Amino acid sequence: MSRSLPTIAITAGEPAGIGPDLCVMLAHKSLNASVVVVADAEMLKARAVQLKLSLKITPYTPNNIKKHIGNGTLTVLNIPISTPVIAGSLDARNSQYVLETLKRAALGCLENVFDAMVTAPVHKGVINDAGIAFSGHTEFLAELTKESQTNTPQVVMMLVGSGLRVALATTHLALKDVPAAITQNSLETTIRILHHDLVHKFSLDNPRILVAGLNPHAGEDGYLGREEIEVINPVLEKLRAEGMQLIGALPADTLFAKHHLSKADAVLAMYHDQGLPVLKHASFGEGVNVTLGLPIIRTSVDHGTALGLAGKNSAGTGNIEIGSMLAAIELAITLANNKSKSAINS
């Protein structure tokens, strides 16, 4: 679908959490895109009353998409909620509603109705309490879109902020399970996905990727572990032979030094808490989670549902920060524009 501005679908996430608040606040922010919030319209109106913020809802139709100018109006694709929402109080009966918003946004992206989707935080625990097996946005979207994935058998989590891009070879695993999860096959696939999306989504012609070792001092020639020798370095050598710029395996404690980062487009960390503490130290509250390897563009805030703050941010008090949501939307706009330019030039 040809559009002068990208259309971004935003899911409001856990209805008892901070996601609806962010959407209401977003109504007062100007963006260089069209925005469609996928949520229950009456729930958003009720949250706006709690927040003491004005809100006008325009029902979504494919023909009423206009630039989001921040005049207190939201275009909403209404998904009816299952049971009334109390801000800060989880209710498992609304779990299916949460998943339906994700499904509608993702399918809209697959059908080119939307150019990208941005997700507010969900609460994995309450979805599982509803009897629905759910491990996160990433896995849910990978399963939903798998029939459209011809060359991406897995997905990769990357966080972006303060000039850093940090991708993960493994995500939410106990530390004791990480070494076994890093195989030559899985690592090669991860690097191929990371490299592909840096080229095709981020428009980096020949990205330079720093790769962390798994062990202290990157194993110190096998003295502190052999994963670098037996798994990581053989993969890097194979892919370097194909022309990829891969630097490593580097000791993680020095990888994030300025002289390394100044020459890099992205970092690949071996596990969650190896790479993300550095990024979140640099950009907490304004970081963005990007899912690589999907056939659609998906970004997300870098924080949780913040149940204790939901519905409590009176206008002007500044208790709730919208920075990460705005950053996620801005990155989605950039990636959508990159995709559009690539399509025109191809």
Residues of the chain with pLDDT under 50: 1-2, 151-152, 315-317
Q: Which residue has the tokens 């969900």?
A: 122
Residue type, 277: P
Please count the CA atoms within 13 angstroms of the CA of 80 that sit on its side-chain side.
2
User: Which tens digit of pLDDT belongs to each residue from 280-299?
Assistant: 898 877 889 999 999 999 99
Whole-number Å distance between alpha carbons of 57 and 239: 51
Structure token digits, residue 266: 């992205």
DSSP-based three-state secondary structure for 37: strand
| pLDDT at residue 257 in the model | 93
Query: How many Cβ atoms sit within 10 Å of the Cβ of residue 326?
Result: 19
CA nearest to 34, candidates 90, 118, 95? 118
Tell me if the bond preceding 249 is cis, omega within 30° of 0.
yes
Per the CB < 8 A criterion, the answer to whether 92 and 14 are in contact is no
CA nearest to 253, candidates 236, 269, 229? 269
| pLDDT at residue 340 in the model | 79
User: Which tens digit of pLDDT belongs to each residue from 253-277?
Assistant: 999 999 999 989 999 999 999 999 9
Instruction: Determine how β-strand 7-11 pairs with β-strand 116-119.
Output: parallel
Structure token digits, residue 223: 């003295």
